[in-house]
């Protein structure tokens, strides 16, 4: 009998967190290094907990819906359950209750490194527990083992024209890898719905493992003359393999990538990429199709593409104004942007009302490792000037910088100057959060998502207008 089956059966019988093993009687869950086994222990408990909660509180009213919310992008409307992270407007994101500085402290690092390994963040998102070093090592190893991509995907990527945006290539490749979907295969074979999460888990692990290779092929095809990516090294962590495949040798770039891939992973459930992945998954589209849909949303300039937009905007600013610029010159440039009916990229947020902690930790990285970089200095100067202009402009509810205001400047410092590629990095990271959520969506049996829409005529009638 497989360990998974033993675990599933024994979760009902055993005291919390202790499980029998074949050899030594009882074993603590924290000693397990196979994530799927740990989930198999947690899933039935969560299912029971939510069942009891809904039985007792299922009809409790938790908010009201105003007409403006229907026209205003559903801001503030509580309408989704997402377990992996929660976004506080003032404090920013917490991953399973842990802030970014806390994650930087408690999650395992690479030997000699200071930034968290994204593998650890993934374990945390999936389980709610801070992983041990061995658990993180097991994820690195498993992703390295699962990293190879089908040859038809390589062929397809190698034949895309250079003018196809990297995000379109990324999304198309994810869809094309769907030929290997274990979820779709299991569904077609008629498996019981109580096992859906296990197949969603397999696809999610495969997909996350393969994304760096796909992303690296896109990068090398577009910007490095189509040179081959190096093979995966099973002794390296996920980020180190990624930077090696991209062709970067600087260890600090790899450290940056570990931080980058950790902090871009998840931002609760209502943002476009997370919500889209969840929505498409609710139709039981497999994780490849669901995640590709989420990536198409991330590619929008008001969402993930803003990291590309920021660096293009800052580069234009430098071209127009030169190296050293005064605050007054910056103000004028920002006003020109606003008066020509464009947004200031990297500023504002649908939920946040303070500076994004994802911006702050990137700023701290810059202060530590590249304090004299001219572009960093400009980004810091913009932080002093943009909020006041946006406040004077009087429209944006949040004048403070978001994650995208800072990421590009760090990447260009280490030589990654290809701005139109930046959102692909965001996408590789976002997989960690939205796929962890997708596994839980299937584990909790969340149904097809289908909110009620109304016509303006119907709404007017409803409110007696
Ligand atoms: N520059 C100019 N105007 C802005 C603005 C900005 N940075 N942020 C908001 N506004 C405007 C909005 O366009 C809106 O104008 P209209 O009333 O004319 O439509 C008004 O202020 C009110 O918007 P809001 O309620 O403050 O913000 P929203 O929730 O509607 O939008 C966001 C949020 C992020 C789309 C918006 O702040 C924006 O466009 N920012 C710039 C793009 C950006 O950085 N996006 C990345 C967000 C993070 C991410 O997902 O990666």
Q: Is 347 in the pocket of ligand 1 (CB under 6 A)?
A: yes
Q: Is 297 in the pocket of ligand 1 (CB under 6 A)?
A: no
- Rounded CA gap, 217 and 207, in Å? 15
Retrieve residue 48's tokens: 């029971």
Examine the residue annotation and report whether 303 is marked as an active-site residue of this protein.
yes
pLDDT of residue 323: 80
Q: Is residue 243 part of a domain?
A: yes
Q: Is residue 357 part of a domain?
A: yes
State the pTM of this model: 0.94
Q: Which of 206, 404, 413, 441 is catalytic?
A: 404
The predicted-structure confidence for 162-191, as pLDDT tens digits, reads as follows 999 999 999 999 999 999 999 999 999 999
Q: Which of 199, 264, 303, 383 is catalytic?
A: 303
Give strand ranges (E) for 29-166.
85-88, 92-95
Retrieve residue 218's tokens: 């896109």
Q: Is 399 in the pocket of ligand 1 (CB under 6 A)?
A: no
Q: Is residue 43 part of a domain?
A: no
Q: Is residue 132 part of a domain?
A: yes
pLDDT of residue 108: 98
Burial of 30 (0-12, 13-18, 19+ CB in 10 A): middle
Q: Is residue 228 part of a domain?
A: yes
Q: Is 264 in the pocket of ligand 1 (CB under 6 A)?
A: no
Residue with tokens 């960690």: 432
Q: Can you tell me which atom of ligand 1 is nearest the CA of 350? A: 29
pLDDT of residue 30: 74
Examine the residue annotation and report whether 404 is marked as an active-site residue of this protein.
yes
Q: Which of 343, 350, 394 to mutate to test the pocket of ligand 1 (most atoms within 8 A of CB)?
A: 343
Q: Is residue 31 part of a domain?
A: no
3-state secondary structure of 87: strand
Name the pairing type of β-strands 85-88 and 92-95. Answer: antiparallel
- Rounded CA gap, 302 and 424, in Å? 15
Helices (H), 351-396: 357-369, 374-393
* 39, 128 Cβ separation under 8 angstroms: no
Q: Which of 348, 385, 389 to mutate to test the pocket of ligand 1 (most atoms within 8 A of CB)?
A: 348
- Weakly modelled stretches of the chain, pLDDT under 70: 1-27
- Rounded CA gap, 439 and 417, in Å? 35
- Rounded CA gap, 47 and 41, in Å? 11
* 117, 107 Cβ separation under 8 angstroms: yes
Q: How far, in Å, is the centroid of ligand 1 from the Cα of 396?
A: 6
Retrieve residue 403's tokens: 């994650």
Q: Whose CA is nearest to atom 2 of ligand 1?
A: 343
Listed residue (304, 403, 417) closest to 363, CA to CA: 403
Q: Is residue 274 part of a domain?
A: yes
Q: Is 345 in the pocket of ligand 1 (CB under 6 A)?
A: yes
Burial 185-212 (b: 16+ CB within 10 A, else e): ebbeeeeeeeebbbbbbbbbbbbbbbbb
Which structural domain, as residue segments, surrounds residue 401?
Answer: 100-465
Cα→Cα distances 4→9, 83, 113, Å: 9, 23, 34
How many domains does the structure of the chain reveal? 1
* 442, 277 Cβ separation under 8 angstroms: no
Q: Is residue 40 part of a domain?
A: no
CATH code of residue 130: 1.10.580.10
3-state secondary structure of 34: coil
Q: Is 303 in the pocket of ligand 1 (CB under 6 A)?
A: yes
Question: Across the chain, which distance is largest between two alpha carbons, in Å?
Answer: 72
């Amino acid at each position: 009998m497989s360990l998974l089956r033993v675990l599933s059966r024994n979760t009902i019988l055993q005291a919390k967190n202790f499980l029998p093993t074949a050899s030594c009687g009882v074993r603590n869950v924290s000693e397990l290094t196979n994530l799927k086994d740990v989930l198999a222990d947690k899933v039935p408990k969560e299912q029971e907990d939510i069942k009891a909660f809904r039985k007792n509180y299922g009809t409790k009213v938790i908010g009201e819906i105003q007409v403006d919310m229907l026209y205003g992008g559903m801001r503030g409307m509580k309408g989704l359950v997402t377990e992996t992270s929660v976004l506080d407007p003032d404090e920013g994101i917490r991953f399973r209750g842990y802030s970014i500085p806390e994650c930087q402290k408690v999650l395992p690092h690479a030997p000699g490194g200071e930034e968290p390994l994204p593998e650890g963040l993934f374990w945390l998102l999936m389980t709610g527990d801070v992983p041990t070093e061995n658990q993180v090592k097991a994820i690195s190893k498993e992703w390295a083992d699962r990293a190879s991509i089908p040859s038809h995907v390589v062929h397809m990527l190698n034949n895309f024209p250079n003018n196809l945006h990297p995000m379109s290539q990324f999304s198309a490749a994810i869809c094309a890898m769907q030929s290997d979907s274990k979820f779709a295969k299991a569904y077609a074979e008629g498996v019981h719905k109580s096992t859906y999460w296990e197949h969603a888990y397999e696809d999610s692990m495969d997909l996350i493992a393969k994304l760096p290779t796909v992303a690296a092929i896109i990068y090398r095809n577009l910007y490095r003359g189509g040179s081959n990516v190096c093979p995966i090294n099973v002794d390296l962590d996920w980020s180190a393999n990624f930077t090696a495949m991209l062709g970067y040798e600087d260890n600090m770039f790899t450290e940056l990538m570990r931080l980058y891939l950790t902090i871009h992973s998840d931002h609760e459930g209502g943002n476009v990429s997370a919500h889209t992945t969840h929505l498409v998954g609710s139709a039981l589209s497999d994780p490849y199709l669901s995640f590709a849909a989420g990536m198409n949303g991330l590619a929008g300039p008001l969402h993930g593409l803003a990291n590309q937009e920021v660096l293009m905007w800052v580069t234009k600013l430098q071209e127009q104004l030169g190296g050293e610029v005064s605050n007054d010159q910056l103000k004028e440039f920002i006003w020109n942007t606003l008066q020509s009916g464009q947004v200031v990229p990297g500023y504002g947020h649908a939920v946040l009302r303070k500076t994004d902690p994802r911006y702050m930790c990137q700023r701290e990285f810059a202060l530590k490792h590249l304090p004299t970089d001219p572009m960093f200095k400009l980004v810091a100067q913009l932080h002093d000037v943009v909020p006041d202009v946006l406040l004077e402009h009087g429209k944006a509810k949040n004048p403070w910088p978001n994650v995208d205001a800072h990421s590009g400047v760090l990447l260009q410092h280490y030589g990654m100057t290809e701005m139109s590629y930046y959102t692909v990095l965001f996408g590789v990271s976002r997989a960690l959060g939205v796929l962890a959520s997708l596994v839980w969506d299937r584990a909790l049996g969340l149904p097809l998502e289908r909110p009620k829409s109304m016509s303006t005529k119907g709404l007017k009638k409803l409110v007696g207008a």
